[in-house]
Amino acid sequence: MELPYAEPFKIKMIETIRRSTRSEREEWISKANFNLFNLRSEQVFVDLLTDSGTGAMSDLQWAEIMKGDESYAGSASYYKLKAAVKDIFGYDYFLPTHQGRAAENVLFSVLVKEGNLVPGNSHFDTTKGHIEFRKAHAIDCTIDEAFDTTVDHPFKGNVDLGKLEAVLKNNPKESIPFIIVTLTCNSSGGQPVSLENLRQVSALAKKYGIMLLYDSARYAENAYFIKKREPGQQNRSIKEIVADMYALADGMTMSSKKDGIVNIGGFIGLKDAGIFEQASVFNIMFEGFVTYGGMAGRDMAALSQGLYEALDYNFLEARVGQVAYLGKLLTSYGVPVQMPYGGHAIFIDANKILPHIPKEQFRAQTLAVELYIEGGVRGVEIGAIMADRDPVTHENRYPDLELVRLAIPRRVYTNNHMEYVAAAVANVFERRSSVTCGMEIEYEAQILRHFTVRLKRTAALMAHAK
Ligand SMILES: *Cc1c(COP(=O)(O)O)cnc(C)c1O
């Protein structure tokens, strides 16, 4: 028979995690104001809050930690990372930052002005936050298929070229500082963008004289999907595909906490010397000198190794395979999840599970809380709480999708953990009609409210509410 994939590593060190009782979890989540971000990690058994900064480093990365050069200026680890960025992405200009949103803050300080429009495919929440904080607008041009969780489209992260061109054509060029394409598209479910789509977006960007940037957190997973799903790409290496993808753009922001497989870090990559020079000033103000940008030398060194490990086909096959393993289990239990399965996470469709909870009572958040109580599994709401209020009208925004994201950290959990998680989700799914209270907001911050929101259970569900 054909041999299945298996993780291309064995385990050298373990970290103990503990199970808790349901009554303990009831108490903890109530004290946490029903916000899963407020839980202590010891109160969580399987932590699928995020795949960001939660991955396990390799022995070679830990070796790099020891080799890190902590010089304030001109660190050898900076040059090693700069060389890796040039080799993998092809960009000559590079600025380290302490994480992805810091890269956004630095670069957008140069590029984004009040009233600007920034088109792209479902902008990530911090990206949108940094755009709206500057009183500019993020315009979502993702293809419509992305918003139907049942449609099985190979590249649901793709940009709708018609929507994009309408924005480019109907607005003055000066009002559009750049187009940003997120790889893979986090907000629409870890869905990839095809190389063909990137080519077309790049062509449109050139036609209208607008810069193209990539929000690059999961560049390697995106390239893996291109290899697996795009005609003509099967026999090419991940590294070759990444090189093609990045040749089409003018720059990148990166959260290294994802496909960099490190616990902290980010960077900016650019082709243009002028923008690099302007960004350097903001980097020094906000992050640190240009050769460390808020990162320790050892962390830059570990990242220079991690960027290459993420390009390993066997790693990607096991990683994406484990996510799909969880997805298939959930599907077999009848749980509605976004199709096809994402690269880093499975997204449970809360609109389909809790349609009897009014959308104003935050279905996905309600489901995420139930899942925690059921099994100590921590996921995250990607729904109306995260969608925040409209910056102009201050009305709540209700996105088409109410999802609970189960993000899988890289190289951390085994498939037994996936089986445990799937069983906990299945139990909640079985008792879904007995979930009769939604959530209401007691306190929210002005921007990025989901991190600190305080919630309480609604008193009782109105009968027949739809
Ligand atoms: C995580 C992430 C960011 C922000 O990066 P941080 O390192 O969390 O600051 C930006 N964009 C995407 C697509 C991300 O996944």
Atom 6 of ligand 1: nearest residue by CA position: 100
CA angle, corner 419, sides to 156 and 17, nearest 5?
A: 110
Q: Using CA atoms, how far apart are residues 240 and 221, in angstroms rounded to an integer?
A: 14
Q: Which residue has the higher pLDDT, 147 or 184?
A: 184
Same domain, 329 and 270: no
**Contact between 311 and 239 (Cβ < 8 Å):** yes
**CA of 69 relative to ligand 1 center, distance in Å:** 26
Angle, vertex CA 270, rays to CA 269 and CA 274, nearest 5: 140
pLDDT at site 462: 53
Q: Residue 357 domain-assigned?
A: yes
For residue 238, the CA-to-ligand 1 centroid distance in Å is 22
Q: Give the separation between CA 462 and CA 344, rounded to whole angstroms.
A: 37
Given a contact cutoff of 8 angstroms between Cβ atoms, the answer to whether 189 and 339 are in contact is no
Render pLDDT for 30-83 as a digit per residue (tens, 0 to 9). Answer: 999 999 999 999 999 999 999 999 999 999 999 999 999 999 999 999 999 999
**Mean pLDDT along residues 339-367:** 95
410-448 pLDDT per residue, tens: 999 999 999 999 999 999 999 999 999 999 999 998 888
Same domain, 198 and 269: yes
Q: Is the CB of 344 under 6 A from ligand 1?
A: no
Helix (H, G, I), strand (E, B) or coil at 246: helix
Q: What is the per-residue pLDDT for 466?
A: 42
Which residues are CB-neighbours of 16 under 8 A, at least 6 positions away? none
Distance CA 220, CA 246 (A): 12
Q: Which of 6, 72, 173, 247 is catalytic?
A: 72
The pLDDT score that the predictor gives to residue 273 is 98
Residue 192 CA to its chain's centroid (Å): 12
147 falls in which pLDDT band (50, 70, 90)? Answer: confident
Judged by DSSP in three states, 361 sits in helix
The residue range of the domain holding 117 is: 59-309
- Only one residue has tokens 């930690």, namely 65
Write down the pLDDT at residue 448.
82
| 155 and 68 housed in the same domain | yes
pLDDT tens-place string over residues 110-141: 999 999 999 999 999 899 999 999 999 999 99
**What are the structure tokens assigned to 93, written together?**
């200009």
Do 344 and 299 share a structural domain?
A: no
- Say if residue 212's pLDDT is above 60: yes
Q: Is residue 9 part of a domain?
A: no
Of 215, 250, 299, 349, the active-site residue reads 215
CATH classification of the domain holding 334: 3.90.1150.10
Do 444 and 372 share a domain, yes or no?
A: yes
- The residue written with tokens 């991940």 in the block is 238
Residue 356 and residue 294 share a domain? no
Give me ligand 1 centre to Cα 126, in Å. 7
Between CA 196 and CA 216 the distance in angstroms is 17
pLDDT-derived band of residue 389, with 50, 70 and 90 as boundaries? confident
User: Is the pTM here over 0.95, yes or no?
Assistant: no
Q: Which of 259, 277, 309 is a domain's end point?
A: 309
Percent of the chain with pLDDT over 90: 90
Where is the domain boundary, 309, 336, 366? 309
Q: Is residue 213 part of a domain?
A: yes
Cβ 215 under 6 angstroms from ligand 1: yes
Residues 81 and 175 grouped into a single domain: yes
Tell me, yes or no, whether 32 and 114 share the same domain.
no
CA of 186 to the centre of ligand 1 (A): 9
- The token pair at 274 is 């002028």
Q: Both 35 and 125 in a single domain?
A: no
**Is 296 among the residues known to form the active site?**
no
- Span 378-397, mean pLDDT? 90
Residue after which a domain boundary falls, among 283, 309, 335: 309
Q: Verify that 257 and 296 share a domain, yes or no.
A: yes
Averaged pLDDT score across all residues of the chain:
95
**pLDDT tens, 276-318?**
999 999 999 999 999 999 999 999 999 999 999 999 999 999 9
- Contact (CB, 8 A) for 382 and 404: yes
Spatial separation of the C-alpha atoms in residues 140 and 160, rounded to whole Å? 9
Share of the chain above pLDDT 70, in %: 98
Domain count, the chain: 2
CATH number of the structural domain spanning residue 280: 3.40.640.10
Q: Is residue 465 scored above 50 in pLDDT? A: no
Whether 131 and 229 map to the same domain: the answer is yes
On whether both 279 and 196 belong to a single domain, the answer is: yes
* Residue 257 Cβ contacting ligand 1 at under 6 Å: yes
**pLDDT tens-digit profile of 171-198?**
999 999 999 999 999 766 789 999 999 9
